[in-house]
């Protein structure tokens, strides 16, 4: 791969920081790197490969001469700067929800549908973190044993809502331990020692936005309107790395537990953690900071053993759920 001129938009945020870390760890060939953020963060110095890089205020001219722009600055900012990026001949890899369901914009998980990246018109969308992690726990089986229906319950970490939510989790936990009152600012409810429905708007059917992203994005990535998804998305008091419990119903033949283990163990980006004897299965704590998604607790659905399997998956939301997936997309380019 030839060295690329890369721009990171939203460099000072949680995902922006991970963009730089992933580029380093993957030894991504970079001719130059520019870091962009709001005026408030401009002038801040951030280290990349041992060098200090000064964060610049993002403007419409920031993308001239660049090859790839990694965006994690929010949907409104992505929409605002799309034309400036594409007019500059740069490809935007966008981590927001702005373009995911747009018909002419590829929605890509590189291990699953890399060929879709070739169809871009200047923008490639990074799927939602919960969708990426879900499909890393489904697609290795779906390739050989077509899936009909998914019932998924998520256990989503604070990292999905950024640094402020992660800090609020720490603060609310300290307050609970000290038996002190706590008024949440970032989240709708106190986060420490608590669970609550994902903090996105609820539609007329009772589903929140995060759940509907999983429904719609799964169909687009897998190129199938046949697969139906029944999701429940919950915030849990974990700093980073989402976990998901997935019930997988198959169209016809159901893989045996051993077949499923072999398929997961051989799939790139997945690590099998399935030790019944030691009761050791995927955990957010162990998945945090890891590129792989951890899959385990593979077992037949007792209510319909001839139709479905249960699996459990944990994946770092800031990595495979965001920055890593985006950089993998950039590598495809």
| Catalytic member of 90, 120, 129, 233 | 129
Query: Which residue, among 245, 267, 248, has the nearest Cα to 146 in the 3D structure?
Result: 248
Cβ-based neighbours of 181, under 8 Å, separated by 6 or more:
175
Q: For the packed helices 324-332 and 14-25, what is the interaxial angle rounded to 10 degrees?
A: 50
First to last CA, the chain: 9
Alpha helical stretches, state H, the chain: 14-25, 75-87, 129-136, 139-142, 163-177, 209-222, 257-265, 284-287, 324-332
Told to judge if 242 belongs to the known catalytic residues of this protein, a careful annotator would answer yes
Q: How far apart are CA 95 and CA 10, in angstroms?
A: 10
Cβ-based neighbours of 71, under 8 Å, separated by 6 or more:
9, 10, 77, 78, 81, 92, 93, 94, 95, 96
Contact of 324 with 133, CB cutoff 8 Å:
no
| Helix (H/G/I), strand (E/B), else coil: 332 | helix
Told to judge if 129 belongs to the known catalytic residues of this protein, a careful annotator would answer yes
The residues pairing with 24 across neighbouring beta strands, listed in sequence order, are none
Pairing type for strands 30-37 and 4-9 reads parallel
CA dihedral 109, 113, 119, 121 (to 10 degrees): -10
CA distances from 85 to 16, 51, 237 (A): 17, 26, 37
DSSP character at residue 322: I
| Catalytic member of 120, 142, 198, 242 | 242
Query: Which residue, among 128, 81, 122, has the nearest Cα to 100 in the 3D structure?
Result: 128
Q: How far apart are CA 277 and CA 38, in angstroms?
A: 51
The pair of structure tokens assigned to 200 is 């996105």
Residue positions annotated with a catalytic role:
129, 242
């Amino acid at each position: 791969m030839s060295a690329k001129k890369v721009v990171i938009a939203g460099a000072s945020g949680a995902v922006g920081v991970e963009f730089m870390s992933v580029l380093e760890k993957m030894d991504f060939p970079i001719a130059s790197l520019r870091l962009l953020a709001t005026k408030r963060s401009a002038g801040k110095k951030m280290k990349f490969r041992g060098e200090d890089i000064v964060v610049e205020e993002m403007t419409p001219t920031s993308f001239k001469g660049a090859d790839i722009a990694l965006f994690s600055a929010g949907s409104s900012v992505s929409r605002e700067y799309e034309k400036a990026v594409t007019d500059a001949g740069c490809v935007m890899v966008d981590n927001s929800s702005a373009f995911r369901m747009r018909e002419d914009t590829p929605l890509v998980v590189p291990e699953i549908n890399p060929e879709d990246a070739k169809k871009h018109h200047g923008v490639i969308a990074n799927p939602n973190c919960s969708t990426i992690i879900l499909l890393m726990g489904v697609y290795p089986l779906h390739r050989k044993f077509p899936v009909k229906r998914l019932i998924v319950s998520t256990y989503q970490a604070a990292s999905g809502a950024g640094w402020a939510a992660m800090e609020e989790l720490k603060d609310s936990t300290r307050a609970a331990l000290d038996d002190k009152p706590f008024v949440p600012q970032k989240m709708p409810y106190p986060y420490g020692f608590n669970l609550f429905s994902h903090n996105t708007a609820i539609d007329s059917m009772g589903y929140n936005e995060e759940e509907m992203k999983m429904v719609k994005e799964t169909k687009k990535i897998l190129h199938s309107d046949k697969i139906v998804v029944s999701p429940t998305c919950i915030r849990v008091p974990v700093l980073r790395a989402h976990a998901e419990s997935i019930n997988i119903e198959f169209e016809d033949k159901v893989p045996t537990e051993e077949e499923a283990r072999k398929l997961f163990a051989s799939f790139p980006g997945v690590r099998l953690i399935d030790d019944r004897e030691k009761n050791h299965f995927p955990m957010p704590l162990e998945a945090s900071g890891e590129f792989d998604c951890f899959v385990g607790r593979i077992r037949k659905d007792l209510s319909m053993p001839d139709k479905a399997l249960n699996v459990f998956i944990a994946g770092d939301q800031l990595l495979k759920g965001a920055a890593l997936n985006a950089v993998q997309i950039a590598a495809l380019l």
